[in-house]
Each structure stands twice: as structure tokens, then as C-alpha cells.
Structure 1
Amino acid sequence: MASRLQQVEGDKSVVLRVTHSNIKTFASDVRFSLQMSVESVKDKLWRKCGTSVESMRLELYDDTNSKVSDLTDNSRPLGFYSPLDGYRLHVIDLDPSSVTSGGWLEDTSLVEKYTISEEEYSKRDGTFRKFKEKMQSQNSSALENKISNNYMEDLCANIKVGDRCEVDPGAKRGVVKFVGRAESLAPGFWVGIQYDEPLGKHDGIVKGIRYFQCPPLRGAMVRPDKVKVGDYPERDLFEEDEI
């Protein structure tokens, strides 16, 4: 009891594992102020998971997955229920017509998509693919004549495979998987990145050549000047400033 009171009075905040009744893949560590009202906690979670405050019921579980309490009083501070770091806050969506119901936020196969065959797309004029092919044919030879094989080699001095990194534009985070020249790309040095999220274009294969292994749509080849290595941990899905 003493340690619990010390956390409420001293730390002023707690990190809870958040889960959701309808979104099975929804799970993340989120920091909450112990002074927040239960209603404020619900409002914070509504902006993250889509369940409205009015339709949300919260349950608190300890680190052995035993239920501690139902957070039924919206006016009470979160600290009243004595949560500790590592406890789990479970969101129950009571609205049967909620955006979170039916698996829509998890199973993209439920969404009807417009498709076009590769053959039909290739026949179309004015597409981005046609524009890109035209520009590449016009500029590739001229570009290669201007770029040396050692282009940006000096920027690779402090970049090595396994480094955590952040890539511009967009401050995308990931890990370095390749450093060197890429024969299927323009001359000079390249850095292969495996992004933490599906923000890439491939799985490490570029124009038929494999430079590294990674999951589909996580891979990218970028110039070294776009890469900053350092202590860049994976972002929390619900990362935001402390309240």
C-alpha cells in the first residue's frame, strides 16, 4: 500500500497497457496523469481508438491480468483507482454501430477497392508511369555522367548496418540494412533502410537485385544525406506529450 501511495503522490503519472474490445491488434503503452479524471482518460482514448466517450467502459487489470476495478465514475481522478505502471486499461465499446465494430479498422479486405489490370494501365496515356519513364529515359544518361562512383561516400563514414536511424523527409524511423553502391541505381553510395512501419516501396529488392531482406513495403534505398543515425527508438503508436 505504501508503494502505491508513493506512486500516486510522487510520480504523478502512470504508464498503462491499453487494449480494446473490438480491435484485437490495438495494444500500446500510454502514459496518463494520475490527476486526470476518468472522463479525460476516455476523451484521450477516444481520439486514439475511435470509441466515443459515451460508449466507452474502462476496466483496470493488474500485471497478473486480474481485474482490479471498473472505472465507473467519470468524475473521479484516475489515481483513485490506484493504477500502477504495467497495469492494463481495457477499453470496451458498447456501441454496436461503432466504427470499431465489425473489424473494419483491422481487415482491409472488407473495404471494396478499385482495381485496374496491369495491361489496361500500361495502355493509358498521361499516367505517372508514362511520365516517369519519359523523364528517366531523357535524364538517366546525363545524370550518370555528372555523378561519380564515390558520390556521397564520405557521408557513409558513420553509417553502418544495424544502426537505428531517422530518414528525411518525414522523419521516418528504421534500421540500416545496407550501405554501399547499388548497381541497379544511379552511381554513388546508397543506404538501404528497413522502416518500422510500412512506409517503403519494396522488401529489399530493387530493379531485380536484392540488397537486403525486410518485410514487404518496409524497404527503401536513399542517399546518405537523408539519413541520421542515433538513438531513434520505435515510436509508440500513441506517442504524445505528457499531460
Structure 2
Amino acid sequence: MLELNNITLSYGSNPILKGVDLSVKRGDVVSIIGPSGTGKTTLLRCINYLAKPSAGTIQLDQIRMDYQSPDKAAIQAIRLRTAMVFQQFNVFKNMTVLENVMDPLIVIQRKTKQQARDIAVQELERVGLGAKLDHYPSQLSGGQLQRTGIARALAVRPDVMLFDEPTSSLDPELVGEVLKVIKDVASSGITSLLVTHEMQFAKSISNRIVFMDQGVVAAQGSPTEMFDNPTLPRLAQFLSSERAF
């Protein structure tokens, strides 16, 4: 379904991604783990061209693009079939919860206000925010803000969900409510890529774990292979350090 080949990206003289290959099948739930600064978020952002690689190709079903000669039509087509949940929520402060979720449906998908409202209400109820439709972001907790972001992503009916460390900005007591929603999304069959430092959660929801280190995919495999029987010393070291906290 989704193929990334030789994804290469640098910021100035600092290489971030060094020829990354990644293959994702329809319905996969892939968690990308690894130390901070190894290119996990950057790789996720390359998929919808929020980060711009200098080399490599992407293919999403029949849509193919070479990053050395990016094509606007292909970028738009990929963006229409993917949705991203950001670390920092990225909600509009001057819009209600309902309006935030309706916005991409009206602006991007050209749906009528009534169509957008019906879909938005459905997705907000799905993430447990049916009673918060008319609230503004300033009236919500961090967990509720992130659930708003997830509802907005789900509302566009994406083929692929991209979660970029969705709990990293939350207080510890709010993490659980967001992880529950993500687990529900993953179990619904939507192809999902998740960058996370929540190791136990990644193990519980993923059918594949990808370990990135120093800008490359250093190892990948099933949760059992990666967490219970790591053969790569660097992966074992990383997991040991995560368990120490």
C-alpha cells in the first residue's frame, strides 16, 4: 500500500534521514521507535511532504512520486488520502471543537455545512467529545485537545493515519485517554503509523515495530521479536534506557 524508498533528507550539513526504506501494508499498525533526534518525526512528515526530502520515492497505491522532481498533483493526492495528528494539537483557537473538525471537510473536501456537521459530530462522539461540541480550545484539557485533533483527522476518512508523538505534550494523567482513542482507531483497521515513546502501548497495538537510529531503520520486526527478543545491541540498549524511567 505505502512504499518509501531511499528517503534522504538533510538540514544544512546535518543529515537527518540516510536512505530510509519502509513498506506498509493495508491495515498495518506500525510503531516507529528510537532515540530523540533520529529522524522519526521527519520521516512521518515526508509522507505528506511537510518535510521535503532531497532524494527517494514514495508510492501510495497507484500514486507515485520521486522527491527529486516533486509533482504538485501527486502531493495533493497523497495529502487527501492521509491525515496527521500532531504533537502540539494544531487546533484553531478561535473555532469551537465542532468547527475545528468541520473545517477541513468544508475547505478541502468541499462538503456542505450540514454534511460536514454530520461527519464531525459522529467523529467527536467516537472520541468521547460529544458533549464538548460548542467548547473552545481554551476550555479543554490537553487530552481533550488531542482527541479533537484525532477526530479532525478521522473526519476526512483517510486511508493512512499518521500519529506524531500524540501524547508527548500531555500531562501524565491525561495520556491514558488519548491512548485509548488511538487503540480504538488502530483496531478499526485503518492503516496507522505511530511515532511514540510509549513502549508498552506500541507493543500492545502494533503488528510491526520499526526502530530508527541515526537516520536509518536499524531494525524492524514483530512486537515480540523487537521487545522480548531484541538481537540488535543498540535496540536492547535503547529499550533498557526506556524501562529505567
Same fold, judged at TM 0.5 (above): no
Q: Relative contact order (alpha carbons < 8 A, sep ≥ 6): 1 or 2 greater?
A: 2
Q: Which has the higher helix share?
A: 2
Alignment TM-score, normalising by the size of structure 1: 0.23
Alignment TM-score, normalising by the size of structure 2: 0.23
In our comparison, the structure showing a higher alpha carbon Rg is 1
